[in-house]
A and B are shown apart, each in its own frame.
Chain A
Amino acid sequence: MTDGTAGEYRDTPLRPYVLTGGRAGPADTALGVDTLLKAMPHATPLPLSATPQSRALLRLCGGGVLSVAEAAAHLVLPVSVVRILVGDLVATGHLQAHAGSFSEPSMELLKEVLDGLRDL
């Protein structure tokens, strides 16, 4: 790594698939970096087999609404790993996921973004 790269990339011995039970594929649920997460209020406790990462994610999302990217940053996990964990927790009814940008934004949304920025 040269000085100019300023920490933007590096090599690590990290093996993320260990955290996700060997899976590296995309989760079933549509999950973008800006998809919003919220813990389901009356979900059953996580099974004993749940990983510490899943527990930490659920605990974090119990405090309020956050995006997938924010959850990843707060948990110090890659977004790709959090996506898989979220997919599992959504499937078991522990987490709710909604919103996120997947396709071309609507004209209405573009205008709302522009108005919002101008009003800041």
Chain B
Amino acid sequence: MGVTPDAEQAVAAAVGAASTVVPVGAGTQREVGGPVPTGTEVGAPSGIVAYDPAELTVTAGAGTSVDELDAALGAHAQECVLDPRDRRATLGGLLAVGLSGPRRLRYGPLRDRVLEVRFATADGRLVRGGGPTVKNVTGFDLPRLLVGSFGTLGVLTRVILRCQPRPALSRWYRAPGEPDAVRAACLAPSTITWGPDGTRVLLEGHPDDVDAQAAAAELVALPDDGPAWPDAPHRGRVSVPPGQVRQVGAGLAALDGVVWLAEWGVGTVHVGAATEDGLAAARGVATAAGGWLLRESGAPTLDGFGVALPASEVMARVKAAFDPTGKLAPGRLPIPGAGVAAPGVVSGGRIGGPARA
């Protein structure tokens, strides 16, 4: 299906008509967070709509895969820093789940890539938020609202993303010392990982600068594509204030059958466990350090989030305003009262009004 207004309208119509909507992409992140409900599966159109390298922006259907986007941008020595674990992921799925890739330390989180979104609303309309330009404060930030919303506020159909020139060189290194020493010695490392096997660093930029930084930090070049990200039947990601990562690492190291790797300076710790109990124990470590653990795969009986949502009253009102009947991806996010409009809020038909013809 090409990315035409008709195709997007068809998505909106399907969403409007269904009683329970399950937005689907490539299925690479189905197990992240709350369980996928049963209902009408709705996908988004795929394909690149517009790409002008001189603008450093690209417009694509939300069903486009990261692989396809990479190929198009790569032909012009550009990239969009999305970095999913599985590059078959669709843009819509990736943004809806909202997980940032490992180069966040340098390039910032996933949500910073998104300039404009178009999405199908629960009542079958197409809504656009944000705008096509790289700088824009026209109206409220619907793109950021949609990133990480797990499909519970609308089904993304088309997005405009920010691109950047590809670095001349990207190279992984092993660091002999502490991750903080690397951070102090290097101006802007793209990634610093820290785990049982020590510290690894990704440097990107002008080859002479990369060499000079590596020399200054006494790094040893690695021939590979970087460290192995934890892989195990049960996976999750810990999110803690960056200063707590060492504590989390120590806690995880004490667990049997648990593998882990932290993004230093970010506060993300990737965890894999041989058993579901192992992942539950890792969650305990995260909580003790003032953070939380998101289930990414496996661990079917574990709660997806394991924490109550912050500012949950506001979140419940947001949910009720966009999806008053709770038909969009129910259960994917633990919104209190989702499915029933918060009492006393949806008053006078001002929000959550009926579908327009």
* A, B co-complexed: no
Task: Give me the interface of B with A, judged by CB distance under 8 Å.
Answer: none
Task: Give me the interface of A with B, judged by CB distance under 8 Å.
Answer: none
